[in-house]
C-alpha cells in the first residue's frame, strides 16, 4: 500500500514521548508498505536530525519557527479555532501534502495527533485514521483547575475549544484511536458515531533492559523533561511534601531528577544535599538502573507515561500516581505500586527501599508485564488489525454506494 502518515513532530530520533509512538508506527508500516511522512521541524538541527527517518519513508517537512507559531496561536484567540491548531499549522506543509495527494494514489491516510488532522480533514475518497494518542483537550481542562488566574481562564477556553474541535475532526475520519482504554472512554463519550479503538504504546525491552551493575539501595529517581509543567509540578510537590518525610525515616535517602531544561525552581531543588538535578543527559538508563526505584507521582497525566514503561522494562520498580498508572496495562500492587496520598507514598517507597526481596519481586513482575503487554510487536499487531478493518469497511461501503448509484 501507499500510506500518507501525518504527525505533529518530526519523529526522529525517537527520544521523547511525542516522537516515540509515531516513529514505531512508521518503522513498522514501512516493513510492508511505502510510507510518506508529513511533519514539522522547528529548527535546522531538528530537520537535520530528522533525515534519519528517510531510512523508513519519504519525508515531507514543513519548516516553522517558534516566534511565528506563537503569533499563529495568538491569532486564533478571538476565533472558535483552538490556538493549538495555529501552533501546528504550516502553509508550506499544507501545500506539500496537497500536492502529494494530488500526484500520488494513497491507499490510506494515517494521522497521529489531532492538531495536524487539519492538513487532511477535508480529503475524501481515501480511508483515513486519526490516532488522537491522548485527548489533548482534557489536559488543558485539568490545567485550568490548577493554574492561577488569568492562565486558568486561558486553559479553560482552549480546552473547551479543542474538545469541540476533536469532536468535529473525529467525524471526518473513518476510525479514531487512542493509546489507552481510559482515553478511549473519553473519546467514546463524545458520541461522534465514528468507529474507535485503542492500541498501547510499547517499549523497546531490549534497549531498556536490566544490567548487572548493583543498584543503590538509598537512591530514588525521576525521569522526564523538566520544562513540562506536569513534571515540574509533581517534583515540586514531592520534594515539598513527601521527600522530607522519607528523610525523617531514612536520612541517607537520595533523589535524582533526570531531565532536560529544568526550570529555575527545579534547579533550586538541587540545593538540597539529598537532591541532584542533572539537566539533559545523553542516556537516562544508567541513572534509572542505579536507583532502587523510580517515582512518577504525577497529578496531571493523560495517556501513557513512557518513563514508567521504560523503568519497569529495566527491572526498576515504580511508585506512581493513580492517574499515571491508568496509562499502563499493569495491575497496581502486582506489577507496580500506586500512591494515594503523602503517607501512602512514604510507606510504599520505604517498603521498597527497606525490603530487597519486595523490590526484587516488583522488579521481576514489572519487566515480565512489559514483555507481555507493552511489547511494540504486540501493539503493532493491534494497529494492523485496526487498519485492516478500516480498509475493509471503507471498500465495502464504497462498493455498496456504487451499486446503488
Compute the C-alpha angle 180/234/319, nearest 5°.
Answer: 60
Q: Which CATH class is domain 216-373?
A: alpha beta
Q: What is the pLDDT of residues 7-30, one digit of tens each?
A: 999 999 998 778 999 999 999 999
- Nearest-angstrom CA–CA distance, 211 and 330: 23
Burial of 212 (0-12, 13-18, 19+ CB in 10 A): exposed
User: Start-end ranges of CATH 3.40.50.2000 in the chain?
Assistant: 2-202+376-404, 216-373
- Nearest-angstrom CA–CA distance, 376 and 381: 8
Cα–Cα distances in angstroms (integers) from residue 286 to residues 75, 206, 213, in the given order: 44, 15, 9
What is the pLDDT at residue 146?
86
C-alpha cell at 336: 507496580
What is the pLDDT at residue 15?
82
Helix axis angle for 356-373 and 342-354, nearest 10°, is: 100
- Nearest-angstrom CA–CA distance, 287 and 285: 5
What is the pLDDT at residue 405?
52
Which H, E and C letters describe 181-244, residue by residue?
HHHHHHHHHCCCCCEEEECCCCECCCCCCCCCCCCEEEEEEEECCCCCHHHHHHHHHHHHHHHH
**What is the DSSP-derived secondary structure letter of residue 2?**
E
- Nearest-angstrom CA–CA distance, 164 and 79: 13
- pTM comes to 0.91
Q: What is the pLDDT of residues 105-157, one digit of tens each?
A: 999 999 999 999 999 999 999 999 999 999 999 999 998 988 889 889 999 99
Q: Which architecture does CATH list for 2-202+376-404?
A: 3-Layer(aba) Sandwich (3.40)
Contact in structure between 114 and 164 (CB atoms under 8 Å) = no
What is the pLDDT at residue 77?
87
Q: What is the pLDDT of residues 166-182, one digit of tens each?
A: 999 999 999 999 999 99
Does the pLDDT at position 401 exceed 80? no
182: left (phi over 0), alpha (psi -120 to 50) or beta: alpha
State the chain's mean pLDDT as an integer: 94
Contact in structure between 8 and 115 (CB atoms under 8 Å) = yes
Closest Cα to residue 14, out of 376, 325, 382, 379?
376
Does the pLDDT at position 94 exceed 90? yes
What is the pLDDT at residue 35?
98
Does the pLDDT at position 74 exceed 90? no
Residue 134: phi, psi to the nearest 5? -105, 155
Does the pLDDT at position 41 exceed 90? yes
Least confident of 196-205, 316-325, 326-335, 392-401: 392-401
What is the pLDDT at residue 251?
97
Would you place residue 195 in the very low, low, confident or very high pLDDT band (cuts 50, 70, 90)? Answer: very high
The three-state secondary structure class of 381 is helix
The three-state secondary structure class of 257 is strand
What is the pLDDT at residue 404?
53
Does the pLDDT at position 402 exceed 90? no
Does the pLDDT at position 292 exceed 60? yes
What is the pLDDT at residue 97?
98
Mean pLDDT of 66-77: 87
Q: What is the pLDDT of residues 340-353, one digit of tens each?
A: 999 999 999 999 99
Instruction: Give per-residue burial for 296-334: e unless 16+ CB within 10 Å, then b.
Output: bbbebbbbbbbbbbbbbbbbbbbbbbebbbbbbbbeeee
The three-state secondary structure class of 129 is strand
**What is the DSSP-derived secondary structure letter of residue 12?**
-
Mean pLDDT of 243-269: 97
Would you place residue 403 in the very low, low, confident or very high pLDDT band (cuts 50, 70, 90)? Answer: low
C-alpha cell at 88: 501546528
Would you place residue 3 in the very low, low, confident or very high pLDDT band (cuts 50, 70, 90)? Answer: very high
Amino acid at each position: 500500500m501507499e500510506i500518507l502518515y501525518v504527525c505533529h513532530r518530526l519523529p526522529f530520533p525517537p527520544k521523547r514521548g511525542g516522537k516515540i509512538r509515531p516513529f514505531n508506527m512508521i518503522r513498522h508500516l514501512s516493513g510492508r508498505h511505502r510510507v510518506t511522512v508529513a511533519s514539522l521541524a522547528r529548527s535546522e538541527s531538528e530537520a537535520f536530525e530528522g533525515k534519519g527517518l528517510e531510512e523508513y519513508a519519504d519525508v515531507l517537512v514543513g519548516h516553522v519557527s517558534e516566534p511565528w507559531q506563537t503569533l499563529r496561536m495568538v491569532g486564533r484567540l478571538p476565533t472558535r479555532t483552538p490556538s493549538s491548531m495555529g501552533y501546528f499549522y504550516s502553509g508550506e506543509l499544507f501545500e506539500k501534502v496537497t500536492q502529494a495527494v494530488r500526484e500520488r494514489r494513497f491507499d490510506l491516510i494515517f494521522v497521529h495527533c489531532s492538531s495536524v488532522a487539519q492538513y487532511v480533514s477535508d480529503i475524501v475518497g481515501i480511508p483515513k485514521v486519526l490516532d488522537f494518542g491522548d485527548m489533548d483537550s482534557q489536559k488543558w481542562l485539568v490545567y485550568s483547575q490548577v493554574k492561577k488566574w488569568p492562565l486558568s481562564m486561558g486553559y479553560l477556553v482552549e480546552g473547551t475549544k479543542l474538545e469541540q474541535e476533536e469532536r468535529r475532526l473525529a467525524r471526518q475520519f473513518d476510525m479514531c484511536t487512542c493509546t489507552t482504554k481510559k482515553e478511549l472512554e473519553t473519546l467514546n463519550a463524545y458520541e461522534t458515531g465514528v468507529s474507535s479503538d485503542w492500541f498501547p504504546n510499547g517499549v523497546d525491552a531490549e534497549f531498556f533492559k536490566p544490567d548487572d551493575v548493583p543498584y543503590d539501595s538509598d537512591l530514588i529517581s525521576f525521569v522526564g523533561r523538566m520544562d513540562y509543567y506536569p513534571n515540574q509540578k509533581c517534583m515540586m510537590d514531592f520534594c515539598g511534601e513527601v521527600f522530607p518525610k522519607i528523610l525523617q525515616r531514612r536520612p541517607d535517602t537520595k533523589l535524582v531528577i533526570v531531565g532536560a531544561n529544568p526550570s529555575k525552581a527545579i534547579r533550586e531543588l538541587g540545593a538540597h544535599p539529598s537532591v541532584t538535578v542533572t539537566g539533559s543527559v545523553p542516556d537516562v538508563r544508567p541513572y534509572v538502573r542505579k536507583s532502587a526505584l523510580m517515582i512518577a507521582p504525577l497529578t496531571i497525566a493523560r495517556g501513557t507515561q513512557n518513563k514508567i514503561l521504560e523503568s519497569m522494562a529495566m527491572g526498576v520498580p515504580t511508585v506512581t500516581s493513580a492517574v499515571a498508572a491508568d496509562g499502563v496495562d499493569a495491575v497496581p500492587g502486582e506489577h507496580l505500586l500506586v500512591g494515594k496520598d503523602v503517607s501512602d507514598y512514604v510507606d510504599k517507597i520505604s517498603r521498597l527501599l527497606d525490603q530487597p526481596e519486595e523490590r526484587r519481586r516488583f522488579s521481576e513482575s514489572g519487566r515480565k508485564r512489559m514483555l507481555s503487554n507493552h511489547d511494540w510487536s504486540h501493539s503493532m499487531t493491534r494497529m494492523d488489525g485496526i487498519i485492516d478493518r478500516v480498509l475493509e469497511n471503507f471498500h465495502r461501503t464504497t462498493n455498496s454506494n456504487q451499486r446503488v448509484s
